[in-house]
Each structure stands twice: as C-alpha cells, then as structure tokens.
Structure 1
Amino acid sequence: MPMPPAATTVVRVPRSARSFADDLRGRADDDLAALLLARPDLARPAPADITSLAARASTRASVQRALEHLDARLLHLVEALLVVGAEGAPSALGASRSAVDDGIRELWHQALVWRSPDGWRTARAVGETLTHPAGLGRSTSDLDVRLDDLAVGSEGDFDAVTRAYNALSPRAQAVIDQLRWTSARGSFTTQTLRDVRRELVGAGLMVAVDGERGSDAVIPREVGLALRGGRLYREAWAPPTAEMTHVEQASADDAAAGAVLDLLWRLDEVVAAWDAQPPRVLRTGGVAVRDHRRTAVAIDSSSDLTAFVLELSYAAGLLAPDGEVDPLWRPTEFYDEWATWTPARRWAHLAFAWRDTTRAASLAGQTIDGTLVNVLGKDVSWPLMRARRADVLATLAALEAGSAPTTEQVDALLRWKRPLRLPEGAPTRADDVLREAGWLGVTGRSALTSAGRALLAVPSDDSVPTSEANLESVAALMAASMPQPVSQVMLQGDLTAIAPGPLTEEVATFMRRSADVESRGGATVFRFTESSIRRLLDHGVSSGEALEALRRHSMTPVPQALEYLLGDVARRYGHLRVGSVGSYVRSDDEGSLDALVADSSLASLQLRRIAPTVCVSPLPASTLLDVLREHRHAPVAETSDGGVVVRTEAVKRSPTPGRRSTPVRVVRLDGDEATAMTQRMREAEKSAVRPSQHDERTRIPSSDPTVTLTSLQDAAADRAPVWIGYVDASGDIKRALFRPTSVSGGRVVGQIGDNTTTTRSFSIHRITGVAPA
C-alpha cells in the first residue's frame, strides 16, 4: 500500500507592486484579515476600502505602535533593511539568508515592508520613526557631505576606515571605541577634546555638525557601519540565553501555598488592627507614615511588604475610607463576605485584583518631585505598572515549566521582547513584579506556579468583572497545593501551642484571642501570656469555658502550667471595677486598693480614696482601664448598676467601593469580524476608480484626510506624480497632475503639470482628493 504524501506548508511569496497601497491590494483576503488581527488599530474605525487601509497603515502613529510590539529579532531586521537593504541584511545581522527571508515575510504580514520592483522596502513611516537605526548616525546625504571626503570613500572601503582608525592618537581611538556601538554623536566641550574632534574630522571618521567652532560631531552612517565591521550589533541575532535554575513544579506550588497562607494571615491581622484603631485618611489621601509603621509592627512585616498588603487589600475592595466627615480607613462590608470563603478562593480574588490593578505598591515610601508617596495615596497609581506586570508574567509563562530565572535574566528577556519600550537603561520594574508575585504566591521558589499560569490564561477586561467560573478554576489549582485546615493544636508545657497547618475558622478565632503569634512558617507557634488570657476574658469567655475550649481544640492534654496561668489570671480578673465619674475604681478587696494608691508608678492616675472599697480619678474610664492593664492589673469595666461590660463584637465597616473609574473597554477583533471587514473593503475597492483611469477629464473622488496626507507623503518620497483635486481661490474644485516634493506644516510643495518647473504650494485642507497617476 503506497504511503500518503507528506503534508507540506505552502509559503506565499509576495509579488512586487508599484506602491505600498498596490501591495495591500494584491494580498489575498486571508492575508488582509491576518493584518487586521496583527495590527488591530487599523480596524478601529473600520476602513472604507483598501486605499484607506493603506493610508492608515502608513501613518507614523500606527507604525510606531506596530514597531513597539516587535521583538529585538524583527526590530533589528527592520533596521538592517533601512541601513543595508535586504541583500546586505544577512551579513549585517550575522544570520542566514533563510532566517532573514522568514523574518521579512513576518514583517510583510504586518505591513511594515513591501516588495517593490527594485526589492524589499520598508513602509515610509518606518524610516521616520527609526531615525537612528542600530544607533548609527545620519547618512552622508542627510549630512550634506560627500563619501569621497570621508575615510570610507565612494566605494565603501572598510579597510580604509580601519587604516584611518589605526593612524589615530590613543585619545582619539578611545573616543571612537566609546561611540562605536553606542551613539554616533559626541560632544567635545574642553580644549583637549576639541583637538580630538579636529583630528577625527580630519581623518574622515566624523563630521562637524555645527561648524568649526562648535563642539559636536557625528559619525556618518557609512563610516559607523565600517567601524563595526559591517555588523549592526555586537550580539548575535538571537534571544539572550543563560543557564536557568529549574525546580519541580510541585515544589514551586507547595512553596507558593505557604506564601498564600502567610499573606492571608497578614491581611486578617491588618483588619484586626484597623478594627481596634482605624487610621485617619490624610487630606491628600492615603495613610500617614506613623500609621504605616504601626501596621507593619502589628503584622510583623517590613514596610515594603506592609505596603503591598495594604495596596492589595484596597485593590480587592477589602479596605476603603468610611465616608464620614472625619474619614477613617476601615475594612469594607465586602470583607466580611470574603472572609467566609475558602483560603484558595480568597487568594484567587486577590490574585485577579493584583493582576489588573494599576497601583504600584513599590512607589509607597519613595519621594517623587520632593513629595513623599503615602501608601493608599493617589500617587501610588501608575497605569504603566499593569503593562509591566503583564510583560513580566508573560515572560515567565513563555519559559519551560519549572524555570526559575533571576531578575537579571528576566530583565534581559524583557528588553529582547520590547526593545523600543524598554531600551537599555530604562527600568523594567521586573524586580518589583517578581517580589510581589512571590509574596502573593503567583510564583514559588522563583518559578511560575500552576495557579499563576492559569491566572494569566484568563483574559483581562476592565469592563467585565471576573466570572465565577474563572475564579473557581484558578482557586481549584491553588487549593490542590494547600494543606487542609486542621481543627486542633498541640499544647506545650512551655505555654506555647503549635498549629501544624492552617486552622479552621473557629479554632483560628479562639487562638487569635487567647494567644499571641510567636512565629510563622510551615507551622504556627502561639504563646499564652497573662495579657493574651486577659484578652480572651475581655471577650466574655469565662475561665471554665476557656479551659473547655482548650481541651476541645488540643490534640494533647492541657499542660498544668497553662491551667495555673488561666486560673491565676481568672482569679484576679474583675476584682477591680472601673466606672465613669470622672472615673472610679472599686474593689471588695481593700488590700488591692491599698496597693494601687501606694504605687508611685500610678501617680498619673491621681487616685483618691473616698471609701474603703472605692477610689476615684479625674481621668476617663477608658484611660484608667488601659493604664491599669499596662501595669499588670486585671480590671473590668462596669455599668452604673454594677454589671460587667463585655466587649462587643460589632465593628464598623466602610461601604464596599464600586469601580473607582470608568473602565477601559477593550474591544478585540476576532477572526470572523476581520474576514467580514476584508470582504467589505474588497467590494468597496472594486467600485472605486482605478489609477489608470485618471486623466485630466476624470473627477478626482474625495478622499479621507488621512489618505490624502499619506498619499502625498508617499508620492514625495517616491518622487512620483499624482492626480489631485483642489479648491482654488474662487471656490471652484479643479484637478491637476501634481509632483509633490515635500510635505510639512500642513502644506505640500511641488510642481503642476508634466513639463514645468513652476513650484506650487497647497494647504492640505484645500486638497479634496488624491489618486495615483
């Protein structure tokens, strides 16, 4: 039985065209649809026909946007085409002919190059955007100098440039070495440097750009290329490669799960601290530095991590101003609902909020233009941070699973991926993004986690809230790595308790009230103290109830030392009673009051005995309570009829904020819409007047201003004639064969007719239409 023929891929070779617009007209419908998908700005609004599409694709703004999305491989190829053309590109890049041809076809599909009868050419606006390709200077024609006056000569002799360089003084050679691969222009400000400038200009390696008495000189493009040995870049035409650390995916996921539990604990601690003492909202927005520091102490973290937790909570709608006349920062009503979710689902909500927020927590604490940036303030918002975050995470997602690159390696990959947006020296913010991703659990041991990869796979759209299905799917991957909550702790004889994993809500609440966190990690260590036991009793829990809860929540017997501590604090608890006069202290134990009055450290309370069992103070009852507790006493507040005041669980909440700004509607072009748009443009093009049909008797149809301007610029660059319709001084519409020479400042200059040297100038707005001749 004969074997079936192997599948082959048909590569369409673009045919030559007389203009950029003709190149687009000659493309197949699927090629035009692919162009609209590759450059979606061309489809909004929908172009009327292919001529309009060509004009829009030639504008500088659209070309700039397309170039910014090129990686370094394609951008360097574009620069090679500008400098040496398609034939010289392989040697200039140190690449094979087939690799260069493949890259050119990619650029052709994005309408950044087109094939003329003379060979491959870049779109006109490409050269206007990349004015110094590969860091080379302007060409000799732009500098108005002759090649014969330079070391390279009219034949482009690279050896002559080498000889001229070798004949230079050491100081002049050092200047050339510094400028060779960086910038073609140099400033020579001192007398010594001016002597070097004179030597370099005399050697034909540089050209003075501001006269003999000036200080600047530039290496012409032809000389610069020769100094580089015909190469555009020292580096190879390939992405940066470096040996990366690899970790097991399961290990990365487990490490991330630990970070998630730590983050959720810190966020709950922030809420507990702000419930007890909510910070003021500054007049300029944000949180004061002292409140920032106080919160950092409360959650036992650095200032940077605290800023991240606060900004993340704000972005997720868990913290907000309460809207009062004197506003305070408080947890929102949504926080109470969020707190009832599973840990994995709580994390997923935070992760989506972090991915899509424009706030940059790393800016908090910095000084910008002499102003300190406060956490939660308006200056922390930086729209570019979301794009930086997306680029960094996309770079991690493109690597092999388990890859754990360093910050320097991510920097290099980002600069290769976005060379125009992130040139050498521009901050990538990769260090900030990677650090926050580690805190959040999107990465573990520096590698992207399974849940983090799923997070990036969900499209980001500001106008559409995250769906429940997406939230649950991402949460499920994180839940698979998180340990199951435990309902018991191990009580130790040294008044500590060890939680071998995350605790259930009931046990976590009890331990938070009865003990202080001593350390966190794979297991949490709590310590029981007099103040922590007193805190539990303040919540209305009796000693008997507390002992029963300890036995129920412990997998080991309750140590005798803990029973003694609980009993000792409970016996002394409530002996002193504080009420409001200014305030008073009463106790059935006269000895306790004797000790208070005699204690010199309590002199600030100004206690005065009015009865054997009663003392009064001019201070408020709340102050009296706090001071007595600070001095290791255990008072309780009471009502006027002697009832004990139990701390209420009711807490104030801020309204849940809605969207803080009008969302940016992201309209994506799909394949079906691109195909339909292509068919409409094709139909409109068929009904248009063909260029060959234009003559002095044909009415020039009106064209879009963008089409008019682009057509005139293309004609001026190609020195080609066009038919124009224009409004004369009397208001009549006339037509003429026009040869434009320059377009600038809203005017076009050129000659009217075939055999004339008379120069005419037209305002662009007076030209009604343009058509090729």
Structure 2
Amino acid sequence: MTPARAGAGRGTSARSLADDLRARDDEELARLLRRRPDLARPAPADVTALAARATTRTSIQRALDGLDLAHLQALEAVVVAAPAQGADVAALLGTSRRRAEELVAHLREVALCWRAPEGMRPARPVADVVGDPAGLGPVLPGVPEGPQLRGLLADLEPRQRQLLDALAWGPPVGALGLPADGASAPGPVAEAGRALVEAGLLARVDESHVQLPRQVALALRGGRLHRHSASEAPEVEHTALDPDVVDAAAGGRAADLVVLVTEVVDLWGARPPRALRTGGVSVRDLGRLASHLEIGTDETAWLLETAHAAGLLALDDGQRRSTEDPAWVPTTRADDWLADDPGRRWAALARAWWTMSSAPSLVGPGDGGRVNALSTQTSYPLARLRRHDALAALATLPAGAAPTEEGLAALLRWRHPLRAARSGEDHGVGLAVVLREAEWAGVLARGALSGPGAAVVARDDSPQDAEDPVARAAALMEPLVPPAVDHVLLQADLTAIAPGRLDGPVRTLMHLVSDVESRGGATVHRFSEISVRRALDVGWTADRLLAELGAASRTGVPQPLDYLVRDVARRHGQARVGACAAYLRSDDAALLDRVEHDRALGMLQWRRVAPTVLVTPVPAPTVLDLLREEQYGPVVEGGDGGLELATASLRRTTARSPAPVHVSGVDDDVARQVVALMRRGEGARTSGLDEAGTQTDPMVISSVLREAAVSGDAVWIGYADEVGGVSTHLVRPVAVEAGRVRAAVGDGDVTRTFLLHRVTRVRTAD
C-alpha cells in the first residue's frame, strides 16, 4: 500500500494537518503546491513548515477566494459536522453522498481540511476565517436534543414558532428587550422569548438580546445548512447561436479593430499629440481623435490603452530632439505590426487587452478629478481580475452561448462568492464594462465567446509556451478576417468608395490624395484641392496622380476628378516662396500683381524688387500658409533655386511596453523540486539530523505550538529572557492566543505564560 493510500484510508492515525500531509505521496503534495502556489515560495524546509504555512490566515483566505459556492458550502458543512463523514456533509448540503465526497476530497486536496480517524476536520484556522457557518450560532450547553427537542418544537405556540423561524436562517442573534426578572407587564413578543429561554431553545446574550443555539437552528432548518443547495453551478439563461456565425462576426470586429489602430498609428506618426505635464492625453486631443475615427471617446480611450499595452504607442520625451515637445508617438514595433498578417495583428491587441492592468473606463471626470487616457491614473489591477473572472465564466458555457447579463452575473457569484461579496461597487469596471470591451476587442461577438477569443483567454501555466495563446488565436482568426481589397470605386461627385478594408499601396495612395468622409462596411473618401495638393507637394505630377487613381479604380477616373487634379496642378508651383525673410518669385507678372494688391495678404507688406519678384519681412512658412489659404498654390524653393519637395515625416520612438502583470504560478517541475526538498528535510528530521527536528521559523513555531495545544503533546522550547539568554523548557501548551503561549511546565500542573515572539525554537518531545 502506498503512503497516499494509507493516508486516505478510514483507519488513518493522523492527528493534525501535518500528519495528513506526511501521509501523502509526492504527486499529491505537488498537486497541492500547484493549487496553492503561495505555499511553494519560498520553498518550505519540510512538511511541518508546509503545514504551518498552509494554516496562516492569509494563505487560507487566498485559498478560499479560489473556491466556488459549492466548495464553500461543503467547507461550512465540515466545520459544522466535524469530525464529518460523507453522509453528514451530504445531509447538510442536501445533495448526494457521491457529490459531497467529491467536494470534500477537493477541500482535502488543497489542505483546507484533513482526515482524522473519526472523519474530516477543517484545518485549524479555517473555522475562524469562515466565521459563523451558514449564519448558525454556536453550540451551547443545556440545549434539548433528539426526541426531546423535536417534541418541544412541535408543541410551540404560534408566536413562539414565528420568533424561532425569524432567527432560524440567521443571523442567530435578535433583539427582544426581555425584561429582567421581576419586571412587570412584558409584551407578547418578550413573553414568548422568555418562555423559549426557559425551555432552553433560546439563550440570553444580555438584557436585550437572545441567541439561537446551533442545535435548535439545524432542527428548524430540517438538518440543512442553506435554503437552496448550491452543489452544482446554476443554469445560465442564454441564447444559443451558431458558433460559425459568432466567429464570422468576431472576424469583422477584428478587421475594424486593426483598421482603427492603423489609423491611430498613421495619424499620430505624422502629427503626434503633446503629452500632458501630468501624463496622458488631453481631452481635446482625445476628442479630436474620436472625431477622426468616428467612434465614441470611451472606445477611443480603450483603443489607446490597448495599443499602449501592446507596445505600439509610447511617450517620446523629446530629449533626442530638443526642439520637439514630449508627445505620444508610435513605436518602432508599430512598423513591424503594420507589416504583419491581420490575424496576428488582432491577436497581439486582444492579448494585450487581456493582460493589461489599466481600466480605460475610468477615463473622464470622476470623484477625484478628471482621469486622462494613457495616464497612470487608469491603472486598476482589479479590472484585470474582473476581466479574467467574467470571461473564464463565459468559457464554461457551450460554444455559441450568449448569456444574459443577469445570468452571467449569477454564475460569477457562484464561481467566486467571496470575491463578489467584497467587490461592492464596481467603481466603473463592472460586468457590463467588461462585456463591452470584449466586444470591442473581438473576443466576444453577439454576446458569445468566439473561437479565437477563447484561445486568447485560455489559461496557460507553462512559461515556455507563453506565446502559444497569441499564435493559436492568430491562426484561428486569420481565415475569419475579411480580406483587404485592392481597389476603390471612383465617383463623379469627387468621392471614392472602398468596398472593404484597404491595405497596401492602395491604402497609402488614398490616404495621400483624399480624406475619409465616412466609415463603415464601405469607406467613403473625399477628394478636394487640399488633398490633391498633398500629393503635388511631395513631387507627384497630375499625370502620375491620375494614372495611379485609374489603376486603383474599377470605374475609371471620372471627368470632374480629372478637372480637379489638373486645375490644382496648373496653379500649383506658379508662385514660389523663399527666404528673404521671404520672397515670392513667379514668371507670371500678372499673378504677382494680383498677389501684391490682394487685401487678404496686406499683412505680408509686399515690396516689388523686380518684375517677377516680391519680398516680405514675414517668415517663409507663414507666407506659404497664407498663400495656400488664398488658393495661390505656392511651392517651396530651395537656396539653389530648385524645388523643395515635402517629405512624409513619421515620428517614431523606442517601444516601451508597460510593465506586464505576471501572476506567479507553480508548474510541474517547480512543484516536484519543492517536494523533493521537503522530503530531504523530512529525512534529516526523522534521522536525528538538524538538531533532531528543531524548528526555528517563527511561522512553524506558532503552528507546532498550536497543534500541541490541541493534541496535548509536550514540546521542548527555547525561550529568550530579558537579557538575551536562551533557556530550554519542556512544556505542554494549553492555549496559544494573543501572542502568548499558556503552558504547563515540566511534569507538574503549574502553568506559565510565555511570549510567543521570544520562543526561539521548538521541538516535539520524544
């Protein structure tokens, strides 16, 4: 029989959690460390240290946070019925014995309870952390039991029964205002309460309050802990959708997300917004970007935070170029991202949203003042936890299931009851926000989790395969993203319709010579004198521009567009601006006459120095802007008399992704190494090495003393006195509380109180 089987048998001689852990085999201990990774760091020296660490309040609270409602109720049943058998737990939960034993087995696996010879017992501090189980009061002495209790309950008057029923399901303490002995004329409720106290069915707490004993409460509940059994997950109301339809909708949303982030990279690369002194993006720049993208400011803030988390945007402090102000600009990583396949581009953004700790929904005015996008004030790690909880719950539903928000909220309360009870207000990061952001990210579609989205949110505990979720999600999404189109439809009203997502040379061409007028399934681009002049400013000719548009269009170049391009090109470059402060030169003397006498340009203070030359004291960039506003179409002339072509200058900075949030886990290899280390420590302790099992860790000292107080065993302790000397005592602990150890010293019955922090070592007496 293996050690694991011996420990699991009904005849086990375990007297504590430490004994239970010692009886487990290596695989069971490794599974415990994987389920409760906080026990493995730092590695415990032996099983005694492991048991001590597993019974700290902090570790137990962390373990309880990971339990669903079924396991929490089972743990309450173990606390109530300890030492509990499977039939006891099943009766208290109102479920089958098989299901009860499954729940209790998991609780034992994570060291929240252990198997004693009499049955299952909770780990020592569990009852304190759980509090009043299921709203029950304590077990009180002098309470009738068995047939006597059932007879008393059957003979109660209606008012007395109502009083007990009001306390039956908790809280067990009620205020009745019972009169003191000898008081006259008590009210009917007080009279009923006094009768119940006299019958032993209620207990006085003070002059005004009474308490319902646990024995009576269980009898009133019919032996059940809760009104409704939560041994199984609740049924979630949902709409069943075709998974293929869900994935297709997710593919369309992924394409939109890629287009929007590409627009941000292009726009901020050419005209980056200034960074606020306190960090983040100003309200004006956020609104301008939202208007350009034709989406709401809340979605724009989410888009920026996600792109920043993906390393596509970063703050450039301008130190390399002292003439530039700090600004938010695309990173060099953005160029690689733009060249990648659409599926991988989406997967990088979706995974960044899944792992980031910022909460874009906080952007805007709040109680503490305005929160700006991309500022440190958007950091809210709880948002990441709520995101993971909600989508992990969605992943448990069948493929294509679109639950109602109320149904999903109920499932979350069942899966994480303690966490849900502590969350209180959602602080702007509630379930509705999580679902909305998941739709924006393409992880959800039509309210259901998509196939690629499930790959994004998949849990992966292997550090060496950290990139696998992105690769899997990209492979699933790639065939779902609508392919980019390589053509447009030119219209006679000076517009062009792109019947899909533009990419490659056609997208570059349309962004150069047109402006987006409206977005959607088909994007409408508008041609104007200003947009056409952008192409002419970078050295394009009218013939080249029309030829490129004709090659990109399925409808040919309409005559109005041909006229517009050639008319702008004819006037483009007739006037040239140079530095004088500035001069204006043109072979057309009549044009210079018109410019010189144009009242709108009077501020330039023209002076004619030659029939074809005007000079002005105003700087050349200002002259150039004013002449373009008046539709003269000037170009810049260099010092050698040649044209200076405009260049598409894109600002970039080094990629600096936000510090990632890592949840430290324990994989199989680490768990086995820690178990091997504990086995060596156990071997040294049992073989007489290491001072015959002496423990010096304060946490272990406290745990050993508490276990000895329960079992009645004697231990040797080292105790430091006021002057630093350490004396050795053989003691039998009676109680460990409030930082003090009350113990019988030696073989006598004389008790002494020791300060726990002065106990330097402890060793079990042979």
| TM-score bracket, shorter-length normalisation | 0.7 to 0.9
Equivalent residue number for residue 307 of structure 2: 313
**Aligned to 1:248, which of 222, 236, 242?**
242
Equivalent residue number for residue 653 of structure 1: 652
Q: Per-residue displacement from partner, 1:489-517 (whole Å, max 9, x unpaired)? A: 22223333222332231000001112222
Q: Per-residue displacement from partner, 1:222-271 (whole Å, max 9, x unpaired)? A: 67667766544444312121231222222222222222222222222223
1:80 and 1:89 in contact (8 A); partners too: yes
* Structure-1 separation of matches of 2:420 and 2:242: 31
Deviates more, 1:532-541 or 1:503-512: 532-541
* Structure-2 separation of matches of 1:185 and 1:281: 58
Deviates more, 1:279-288 or 1:581-590: 581-590
* Structure-1 separation of matches of 2:138 and 2:415: 28
1:722 and 1:771 in contact (8 A); partners too: yes
* Structure-2 separation of matches of 1:272 and 1:622: 24
* Structure-2 separation of matches of 1:700 and 1:465: 41
Task: Indicate yes or no: 2:614 matched with 1:622.
Answer: no
* Structure-1 separation of matches of 2:24 and 2:371: 53
Aligned length: 729
Equivalent residue number for residue 714 of structure 2: 722
Task: Indicate yes or no: 2:564 matched with 1:572.
Answer: no
**Aligned to 1:423, which of 421, 424, 434?**
421
Equivalent residue number for residue 553 of structure 1: 552
1:741 and 1:748 in contact (8 A); partners too: yes
Deviation of residue 416 (structure 1)?
1.8
Structure 2 counterpart of 1:132, one-letter code: D
Structure 2 counterpart of 1:568, one-letter code: D
Report the CA distance shift for 1:458/1:700 in structure 2 as closer, same or farther (over 3 A).
closer
Structure 2 counterpart of 1:726, one-letter code: G
Q: Per-residue displacement from partner, 1:535-578 (whole Å, max 9, x unpaired)? A: 33233221111110011111222222222222233333334444
2:159 and 2:189 in contact (8 A); partners too: no
Q: How does 1:489-500 map onto structure 2 within 5 Å?
A: 489-500=488-499
Structure 1 gap segments, 5+ residues each? 1-8, 189-194, 692-697
* Structure-2 separation of matches of 1:597 and 1:197: 103
Equivalent residue number for residue 52 of structure 1: 49
Deviation of residue 426 (structure 1)?
5.2
1:72 and 1:417 in contact (8 A); partners too: yes
Equivalent residue number for residue 181 of structure 2: none
Q: Per-residue displacement from partner, 1:103-151 (whole Å, max 9, x unpaired)? A: 11121122211222333211111112112333x265265xxx9758x9x
Equivalent residue number for residue 736 of structure 1: 730
Report the CA distance shift for 1:690/1:754 in structure 2 as closer, same or farther (over 3 A).
farther
Q: How does 1:207-222 map onto structure 2 within 5 Å?
A: none
1:450 and 1:477 in contact (8 A); partners too: yes
1:723 and 1:736 in contact (8 A); partners too: yes
1:48 and 1:681 in contact (8 A); partners too: yes
Q: In structure 2, the residue corresponding to 1:571 is in which secondary structure?
A: helix
1:487 and 1:507 in contact (8 A); partners too: yes
Equivalent residue number for residue 99 of structure 1: 99
Deviation of residue 482 (structure 1)?
1.7
Task: Indicate yes or no: 2:748 matched with 1:771.
Answer: no
Q: In structure 2, the residue corresponding to 1:124 is in which secondary structure?
A: coil
Q: How does 1:395-406 map onto structure 2 within 5 Å?
A: 395-406=393-404
* Structure-2 separation of matches of 1:206 and 1:327: 72
Structure 2 counterpart of 1:453, one-letter code: A
- Superposition TM-score, scaled by structure 2 size: 0.83
Structure 2 counterpart of 1:290, one-letter code: R
Report the CA distance shift for 1:446/1:584 in structure 2 as closer, same or farther (over 3 A).
farther
Equivalent residue number for residue 432 of structure 1: 433
Q: In structure 2, the residue corresponding to 1:480 is in which secondary structure?
A: coil
Report the CA distance shift for 1:71/1:259 in structure 2 as closer, same or farther (over 3 A).
same
Deviation of residue 312 (structure 1)?
1.6
Equivalent residue number for residue 36 of structure 1: 33
Task: Indicate yes or no: 2:477 matched with 1:483.
Answer: no
Deviation of residue 614 (structure 1)?
6.5
Structure 1 counterpart of 2:339, one-letter code: T
Equivalent residue number for residue 184 of structure 2: none
2:606 and 2:616 in contact (8 A); partners too: no
1:539 and 1:648 in contact (8 A); partners too: yes
Deviation of residue 447 (structure 1)?
2.3
Deviation of residue 648 (structure 1)?
0.8
Equivalent residue number for residue 341 of structure 2: 342
1:489 and 1:553 in contact (8 A); partners too: yes
* Structure-1 separation of matches of 2:252 and 2:407: 25
* Structure-1 separation of matches of 2:221 and 2:592: 92
Report the CA distance shift for 1:663/1:363 in structure 2 as closer, same or farther (over 3 A).
closer
2:173 and 2:212 in contact (8 A); partners too: yes
Q: How does 1:539-688 map onto structure 2 within 5 Å?
A: 539-581=538-580, 583=582, 602=600, 606-611=603-608, 620-627=619-626, 629-630=628-629, 634-639=633-638, 643-657=642-656, 660-661=658-659, 666=664, 668-670=666-668, 674-675=671-672, 677-678=674-675, 681-682=678-679, 684-685=681-682, 688=685
2:584 and 2:614 in contact (8 A); partners too: yes
Deviation of residue 187 (structure 1)?
10
Equivalent residue number for residue 279 of structure 2: 285
Deviation of residue 524 (structure 1)?
2.4
Q: Per-residue displacement from partner, 1:52-95 (whole Å, max 9, x unpaired)? A: 32222222222222211111110111122223454553344332
2:8 and 2:115 in contact (8 A); partners too: no
Report the CA distance shift for 1:225/1:750 in structure 2 as closer, same or farther (over 3 A).
same
Q: How does 1:118-137 map onto structure 2 within 5 Å?
A: 118-134=118-134, 136=135
Report the CA distance shift for 1:620/1:430 in structure 2 as closer, same or farther (over 3 A).
farther
Deviation of residue 361 (structure 1)?
1.8
**Aligned to 2:71, which of 71, 74, 85?**
74
Deviates more, 1:122-131 or 1:404-413: 404-413
Structure 1 counterpart of 2:29, one-letter code: L
Report the CA distance shift for 1:677/1:699 in structure 2 as closer, same or farther (over 3 A).
closer
Report the CA distance shift for 1:551/1:184 in structure 2 as closer, same or farther (over 3 A).
farther
Q: In structure 1, the residue corresponding to 2:435 is in which secondary structure?
A: helix
* Structure-1 separation of matches of 2:162 and 2:245: 61
**Aligned to 2:701, which of 708, 732, 739?**
708
Deviation of residue 739 (structure 1)?
3.3
Task: Indicate yes or no: 2:391 matched with 1:393.
Answer: yes
2:439 and 2:445 in contact (8 A); partners too: yes
Deviation of residue 526 (structure 1)?
2.1
Equivalent residue number for residue 527 of structure 2: 528
Q: In structure 2, the residue corresponding to 1:541 is in which secondary structure?
A: coil
1:638 and 1:645 in contact (8 A); partners too: yes
* Percentage of identical aligned residues: 41
2:76 and 2:133 in contact (8 A); partners too: yes
Q: In structure 1, the residue corresponding to 2:487 is in which secondary structure?
A: coil
1:206 and 1:219 in contact (8 A); partners too: yes
Q: In structure 2, the residue corresponding to 1:769 is in which secondary structure?
A: strand
Structure 2 counterpart of 1:37, one-letter code: R
**Aligned to 2:374, which of 373, 376, 380?**
376
Deviates more, 1:69-78 or 1:419-428: 419-428
Q: How does 1:402-481 map onto structure 2 within 5 Å?
A: 402-423=400-421, 425=424, 427=426, 429-457=430-458, 459=460, 467=467, 471-481=470-480
Report the CA distance shift for 1:591/1:221 in structure 2 as closer, same or farther (over 3 A).
farther
* Structure-1 separation of matches of 2:191 and 2:88: 31
Q: Per-residue displacement from partner, 1:170-204 (whole Å, max 9, x unpaired)? A: xxx9xx97x9868667999xxxxxx9998997676
Q: In structure 2, the residue corresponding to 1:408 is in which secondary structure?
A: helix
Q: In structure 2, the residue corresponding to 1:99 is in which secondary structure?
A: helix
Q: How does 1:161-176 map onto structure 2 within 5 Å?
A: 163-164=158-159
- Superposition TM-score, scaled by structure 1 size: 0.82
2:582 and 2:618 in contact (8 A); partners too: yes
1:726 and 1:767 in contact (8 A); partners too: yes
